[in-house]
Amino acid sequence: MTLDRESAVTSLTAIELAERRTSQAILYGIASSFLIMWGGVTAAGYLLGQAWPRHASTVWAVLMVMGFAVTIAMTRRNRGDLTGRQMTLGWRLVLAQFALIGFGVSVVTTLGPFTGRQLDAFWPLVFMLGYVLAGIWVGRFFVLSGVVIAVLTIAGFWWSGPWFPLWMAVVNGGGLLLGGFWLRSQGASL
């Protein structure tokens, strides 16, 4: 077959676009499961905190350990469906979450003590910073989600009165669930 340079460039451009769109669909499909899982964990944590404020710290500790155990299990389960490069990105995102937790624990232990309400606002803000930073590389959906949830968290902190945990269950938990289901509709299930 005979091809000129211009046709070759056009073909390679089409290939790059198809590859980029496929990578994004794969990422969205996988990220949706994590967002839905963390949305459920977060909503449960805030709802239980609203109902039994005195046990909130224990509830959160148990839920976070469960959430991270499931995150690691889900990342390992995806191994057969992803290329080496995609798996590397997945593990980097998991490690980034641990780095954010390390940062959060450092702040809480050095600048604290904080009230329960302050902590209820602080941790989502730390994780939403992670969404914004990750989104700069992997897609603007994550930047938008991070900014919207962070702004609503701050609004709730100042204006939701005694219903702040309930507000956060809807805004943070519900926001992640909504985002996760939207991503699932856009992504590729492998």
Binding mask 155-184 for other proteins (x = CB under 8 A): ------------------------------
CA proximity to 38, closest of 169, 139, 144, 150: 169
Smallest separation (angstroms) from other proteins to the CB of 20? 9
Q: Does 189 bind other proteins (CB under 8 A)?
A: yes
> Which residues touch 75 (CB under 8 Å, ≥6 apart)?
90, 91, 94
Smallest separation (angstroms) from other proteins to the CB of 92? 17
Residues 124 to 143: which contact other proteins by CB under 8 A? Answer: none
With H, G, I as helix, E, B as strand and everything else as coil, classify residue 4: coil
Residue 37 in contact with residue 71, Cβ under 8 Å? yes
Report in angstroms the alpha-carbon separations of 162 from 49, 53, 68: 12, 11, 29
Residue 82 or 148: which CB sits closer to other proteins? 82
* Residues counted in the chain: 190
For other proteins, which residue of 75, 86, 116, 178 counts as binding (CB under 8 A)?
86
Residues 3 to 42: which contact other proteins by CB under 8 A? Answer: 3-5, 8-9, 11-12, 14-19, 21-23, 25-26
Q: DSSP state, 115?
A: -
**Residues at the interface with other proteins (CB under 8 A):** 1-5, 8-9, 11-12, 14-19, 21-23, 25-26, 80-83, 86, 187-190
